[in-house]
Structure 1
């Protein structure tokens, strides 16, 4: 974690936590320029991705490189947009997996898959060899395949993905992932339950704050934030 190796950043966190950091209007704290990227249009997102994942073409199979990097944000929509941009910049050939969606007791099934997000994997899952992914469900706790486990894609089959666990007790273990049926969450903003058959994963160049808890990164960025509990998360924050 950066606070362990950067005295300037560590002191800043302590001042925020102790309430000693000067505030501006509405009791907001100004992030030092050395810790921020200023929003200058859509290109700023590309610059952010390049700053956290530099020289991707040379590290596309480097597990240590992928293990220690992530962009942290607070909205699933932002995560999806960042991951889409990152996979487009990632070298290699795309492999696309579409989900099969259904609504129980509804024979019409006239619902576009793109409208269902939240706790479900994407309807259109675009991956490349070497791209980082995260499990969205508990699969096999005995071998570390639990909700939040990060992996790297190694090989693709029609209905099977070979991946490598990035961190933890089972780091470097090769595993196989298959499509499984998943239900929409009960608190999803939909008037009905939806079933989706898809690989229980999503890209993990970017993660939500919730999904990042328990993860360890050497290089991480929290986007679109001004304060957001710096003392709790102790994460470098970039505002854009």
Structure 2
């Protein structure tokens, strides 16, 4: 369905057939190592036309692939509307976003959060002694913005909370920052029926629900994350014409490579994949995760 906008001539028909078959096989456990089907964790080869094969700096290479002529498009909202870099883990996403902010030479502002332990926790006085503001400021987890939010006009961001459904301000809505204020931010909605509308984003008190944390804390910050790059899970529900997949770490859950990555892109020519190991060496294969029992009752 996402490939229908390619047209109907013979060349486009071949592209659609080849890519739709590969995508379907990827999701239906039919791609695996030679002589075996995909059941669980299996290494697969990525087609050469999708790979970024030559680079010295992996982050710079994936950015150049997805955001060409970046210096001339920092104020072009349409340029960012259909582009994103995806990665499986939050730390890789943050490193890409930090790189993108560093190459944007426009003036920006740094917004700091106010972090406190939740008063509902027992022994709150003991928690205050153990969990200092500096410790709380250093916590990074999914679902809450970082303590330091470095923003510039023209930066694409994503909402982390539902604010106003009637205005299209829902969790995972993408916006472009248009004005940086002292107490409120102005942004322009990028996608959906409210695309183009300008809205105001206030600070909010957010409490992360992360099972790795043995205590609850509250962070008062703008409910935004920079979205030049985003995690694979955060890309759900979005259709993009240009997708760069950066696999410094392989995918780790069932169907993640298929459902949330490969099927996001509306044009196969817009999909580029960069795979490397921990030492930065480029690779042509990666892990696909499919568990056959998921399909047994379908």
TM-score when normalising by structure 2:
0.72
Report how far residue 23 of structure 1 moved.
Answer: 2.6
Relative distance call for 1:179 and 1:19 in structure 2 (3 A) is: closer
1:159-201 deviation per Cα after TM superposition (whole angstroms, max 9, x unaligned): 111100001010000001111111121x342221101110000
User: What pairs up with 1:150-229 in 2 under 5 angstroms?
Assistant: 150-185=174-209, 187-224=210-247, 225=250, 229=256
User: What pairs up with 1:63-78 in 2 under 5 angstroms?
Assistant: 63-78=77-92
State how many pairs are aligned: 238
User: Is the CA contact 1:38–1:44 (under 8 Å) kept in the aligned structure 2?
Assistant: no
User: Is the CA contact 2:157–2:225 (under 8 Å) kept in the aligned structure 1?
Assistant: yes
Larger radius of gyration: 2
Relative distance call for 1:117 and 1:229 in structure 2 (3 A) is: closer
TM-score when normalising by structure 1:
0.88
Relative distance call for 1:11 and 1:153 in structure 2 (3 A) is: same
Asked if 1:49 is matched to 2:72, the reply is no
Report how far residue 237 of structure 1 moved.
Answer: 5.4
Asked if 1:29 is matched to 2:44, the reply is yes
Segment drifting more, 134-143 vs 23-32: 23-32
* Equivalent position of 2:101 in the other structure: 87
Task: Flag structure 2 segments of 5+ consecutive residues without an equivalent.
Answer: 7-14, 265-270, 277-298
Segment drifting more, 81-90 vs 163-172: 81-90
Relative distance call for 1:35 and 1:91 in structure 2 (3 A) is: same
* Equivalent position of 2:26 in the other structure: 16
Q: CA RMSD in A?
A: 2.5
Relative distance call for 1:229 and 1:203 in structure 2 (3 A) is: closer
Segment drifting more, 126-135 vs 27-36: 27-36
User: Is the CA contact 2:204–2:223 (under 8 Å) kept in the aligned structure 1?
Assistant: yes
User: Is the CA contact 1:136–1:147 (under 8 Å) kept in the aligned structure 2?
Assistant: yes
User: Is the CA contact 1:56–1:91 (under 8 Å) kept in the aligned structure 2?
Assistant: no
* Equivalent position of 1:130 in the other structure: 154
Asked if 1:110 is matched to 2:132, the reply is yes
User: Is the CA contact 2:232–2:256 (under 8 Å) kept in the aligned structure 1?
Assistant: no
Segment drifting more, 77-86 vs 124-133: 77-86
* Equivalent position of 2:73 in the other structure: 59
